[in-house]
């Protein structure tokens, strides 16, 4: 079944990707099932609640699939899944895959504003949440969301469900009715970082995503011997698929779940579980490099540290191998598709100074100027890409798609890059209205729209400001209506509107008017310069 509103590949491309053996007709349900047969009692996930084997996971998945069907969930339904790094995440998403329902991946850090949007926009039938996590009460949030989103029939809770449905009650011993799932069907909706307004949803198919796992595993040499430590929230595309937790399952390896990236937690897990592979964003890598100096954990099992999601400075990159005695791999990827990796046998120069090259020989990349003309080799331009696991359009976003994709199907990444002579990508900046706060993406316009709702705000412009630890933080420039407010009041206002904490501006600057571009638009470039100058004083 084709889910409405999901652009797909033209048939000549689909045929080509099949011919080249990229798309092999696998589905997620079959993937886990066949691993369960092959690996049986082998542990698939180690978490703070214990261990679960491949066979047992498959059994739990089938029980949950039955329970989901009993409450009326069916093929094509959208289900917003907002779960932390726990076994339930896997049981839920694979149960949904088995019945052909589509997970919509929310992050645990999302709040009312985001979750409501995901539920509303995807017309979700269910929302699956923990009761509380990291001190936040998801039940109150869900209560509000449920009141406002007409399609939402079920709120399912891992833990104390109160008025909602406990996840635990949905594991049934009756068999579920398997859905016929076509490998070219959309398997789930992933979140985009977003640059205009609210996050767009990214439709990924079984065929395309499983190819990205298989290819990632080849490039990253992930095998059944691998032990992958997840420290980032696993719903994010990087720890999910590059090669991440799903790549680990594909390979028959073992996943170790950490609820967070603190060295205390992570280093002891590495030692205890003999972790071989892990992935993080640059601020965590910097923190670990500092922490490792003063600790005595045995990290000798660690073979690879991947760093990606935001630009990793060469200065910091240089320190990884000496500090940990393992390999560094830079990863430049995007939930829309394209993933670039440095290769393990690349010279240090490349590993430290570049963000890698496309993982697939079928990835097509172009670096173009403002008129979509290829720039001369080595010069900076916008990266465009098309390939066997890069989407051809966002979910239900015709107007936006017309701008974000070229007529011949290339995705406009909004990233400014240059290629070195070996064809490796160096990320130089961004031409999209987004702030990359240590790997967490903030769409400026989304925050600006919230700010405009404040009675004291006449106009607002949100820009990035440099930060030694996170790379960037966010700064809101505000033109007040009359008297200006305390910045703290603005931040509190956004918090109360239910905006995720990472999107709340780190700094608020009051200003009388915005600098303009030659065309009379707000010049964010000049605003960025302004705040940069202030910070340097």
Binding footprint of ligand J2J on the chain (CB under 6 A): 193, 237-238, 241-242, 308-311, 330-335, 339, 355, 413, 415, 427, 430, 436, 441
Give backbone dihedrals phi and psi of 525, rounded to 5 degrees, phi first: -60, -45
User: What is the bridge-based pairing of β-strands 227-230 and 277-280?
Assistant: parallel
In angstroms, what CA-CA distances link 162 with 137, 167, 188?
12, 12, 28
What is the smallest separation between the CB atom of 85 and ligand J2J, expressed in angstroms? 17
Report the run of H or E that residue 356 belongs to, with start and end.
none
What is the spatial distance between Cα 535 and Cα 537, in angstroms, rounded to a whole number? 5
What is the spatial distance between Cα 52 and Cα 64, in angstroms, rounded to a whole number? 15
Q: How many CA atoms lie within 13 A of 54 on its CB side?
A: 23
Nearer CB in complex with ligand J2J: 144/314: 314
What is the smallest separation between the CB atom of 335 and ligand J2J, expressed in angstroms? 4
Nearer CB in complex with ligand J2J: 334/530: 334
Q: How many CA atoms lie within 13 A of 45 on its CB side?
A: 26
Nearer CB in complex with ligand J2J: 237/523: 237
**Omega of the bond leading into 243 within 30 degrees of 0 (cis):** yes
Nearer CB in complex with ligand J2J: 333/381: 333
Helix (H, G, I), strand (E, B) or coil at 478: strand
What is the smallest separation between the CB atom of 410 and ligand J2J, expressed in angstroms? 14
The conformation of residue 280, written as its DSSP 8-state character, comes to E
What is the smallest separation between the CB atom of 51 and ligand J2J, expressed in angstroms? 27
What residue number has its CB nearest to ligand J2J? 333
Burial class (CB in 10 A: 0-12, 13-18, 19+), 204: buried
Burial class (CB in 10 A: 0-12, 13-18, 19+), 498: middle
Nearer CB in complex with ligand J2J: 139/426: 426
What is the smallest separation between the CB atom of 311 and ligand J2J, expressed in angstroms? 4
What is the spatial distance between Cα 76 and Cα 3, in angstroms, rounded to a whole number? 6
What is the smallest separation between the CB atom of 333 and ligand J2J, expressed in angstroms? 3
The conformation of residue 25, written as its DSSP 8-state character, comes to -
Nearer CB in complex with ligand J2J: 232/460: 232
Judge contact between 133 and 166, C-beta under 8 A: no
Judge contact between 110 and 191, C-beta under 8 A: no
Q: Which pair of tokens denotes residue 308? A: 């990606």
What is the smallest separation between the CB atom of 73 and ligand J2J, expressed in angstroms? 27
Q: Which pair of tokens denotes residue 112? A: 């009312």
What is the spatial distance between Cα 280 and Cα 229, in angstroms, rounded to a whole number? 10
Judge contact between 448 and 461, C-beta under 8 A: yes
Could you tell me how far CA 305 lies from the centroid of its own chain? Answer: 18
What is the smallest separation between the CB atom of 312 and ligand J2J, expressed in angstroms? 6
What is the smallest separation between the CB atom of 373 and ligand J2J, expressed in angstroms? 21
What is the smallest separation between the CB atom of 363 and ligand J2J, expressed in angstroms? 13
What is the smallest separation between the CB atom of 510 and ligand J2J, expressed in angstroms? 29
The conformation of residue 98, written as its DSSP 8-state character, comes to H
Nearer CB in complex with ligand J2J: 233/308: 308
Nearer CB in complex with ligand J2J: 275/339: 339
What is the spatial distance between Cα 55 and Cα 43, in angstroms, rounded to a whole number? 9
Nearer CB in complex with ligand J2J: 85/241: 241
Of 400, 433, 391, 397, nearest to 414 (Cα)? 433
Nearer CB in complex with ligand J2J: 85/355: 355
Nearer CB in complex with ligand J2J: 66/427: 427
């Amino acid at each position: 079944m084709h889910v409405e509103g999901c652009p797909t590949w033209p048939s000549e491309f689909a045929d080509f990707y099949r011919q080249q053996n990229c798309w092999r007709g696998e589905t997620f349900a079959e993937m886990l099932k066949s691993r369960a047969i092959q690996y049986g009692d082998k542990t698939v996930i180690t978490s703070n609640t214990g261990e679960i084997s491949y066979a047992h996971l498959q059994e739990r998945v089938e029980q949950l699939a039955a329970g989901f069907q009993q409450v009326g969930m069916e093929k094509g339904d959208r289900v917003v899944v907002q779960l932390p790094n726990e076994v339930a995440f896997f049981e839920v998403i694979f149960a949904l895959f088995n019945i052909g329902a589509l997970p919509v991946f929310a992050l645990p850090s999302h709040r009312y504003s985001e979750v409501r949007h995901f539920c509303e926009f995807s017309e979700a039938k269910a929302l699956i949440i923990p009761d509380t996590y990291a001190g936040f009460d998801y039940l109150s949030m869900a209560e509000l969301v449920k009141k406002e989103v007409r399609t939402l029939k079920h709120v399912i809770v891992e833990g104390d469900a109160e008025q909602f449905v406990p996840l635990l009650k949905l594991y049934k011993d009756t068999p579920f009715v398997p859905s016929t799932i076509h490998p070219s069907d959309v398997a789930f909706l992933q979140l985009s970082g977003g640059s205009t307004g609210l996050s767009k949803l990214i439709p990924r198919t079984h065929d395309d995503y499983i190819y990205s796992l298989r290819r990632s595993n080849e490039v990253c040499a992930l095998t059944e011997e691998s032990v992958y430590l997840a420290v980032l929230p696993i719903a994010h595309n990087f720890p999910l698929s590059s090669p991440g937790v799903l790549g680990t399952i594909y390979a028959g390896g073992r996943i170790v779940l950490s609820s967070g990236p603190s060295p205390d937690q992570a280093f002891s897990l590495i030692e205890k579980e003999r972790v071989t592979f892990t992935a993080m964003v640059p601020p965590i890598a910097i923190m670990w490099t500092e922490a490792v100096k003063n600790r005595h954990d045995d990290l000798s099992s660690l073979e690879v540290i991947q760093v990606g999601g935001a630009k990793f400075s060469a200065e910091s990159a240089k320190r990884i191998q000496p500090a940990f005695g393992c390999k560094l791999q830079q990863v430049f990827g995007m939930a829309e598709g394209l993933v670039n990796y440095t290769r393990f046998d690349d010279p240090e120069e490349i590993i430290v100074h570049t963000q890698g090259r496309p993982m697939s020989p079928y990835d097509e990349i172009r670096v173009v100027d403002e008129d979509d003309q290829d720039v001369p080799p080595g010069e900076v331009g916008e990266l465009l890409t098309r390939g066997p696991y890069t989407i051809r359009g966002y979910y239900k976003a015709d107007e936006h798609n017309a701008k974000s994709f070229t007529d011949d199907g290339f995705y406009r990444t909004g990233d400014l890059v240059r290629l070195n002579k070996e064809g490796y990508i160096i990320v130089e900046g961004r031409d999209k209205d987004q702030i990359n706060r240590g790997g967490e993406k903030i769409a400026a316009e989304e925050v600006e729209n919230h700010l405009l709702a404040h009675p004291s705000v006449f106009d607002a412009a949100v820009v990035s400001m440099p930060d030694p630890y996170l790379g960037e933080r966010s700064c809101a420039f505000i033109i007040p209506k009359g008297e200006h407010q305390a910045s703290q009041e603005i931040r509190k206002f956004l918090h109360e509107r239910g905006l995720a904490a990472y999107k709340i501006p780190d700094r608020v600057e009051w200003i009388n008017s915005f600098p303009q571009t030659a065309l009379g638009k707000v010049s964010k470039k000049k605003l960025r310069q302004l705040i940069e100058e202030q910070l340097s004083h």
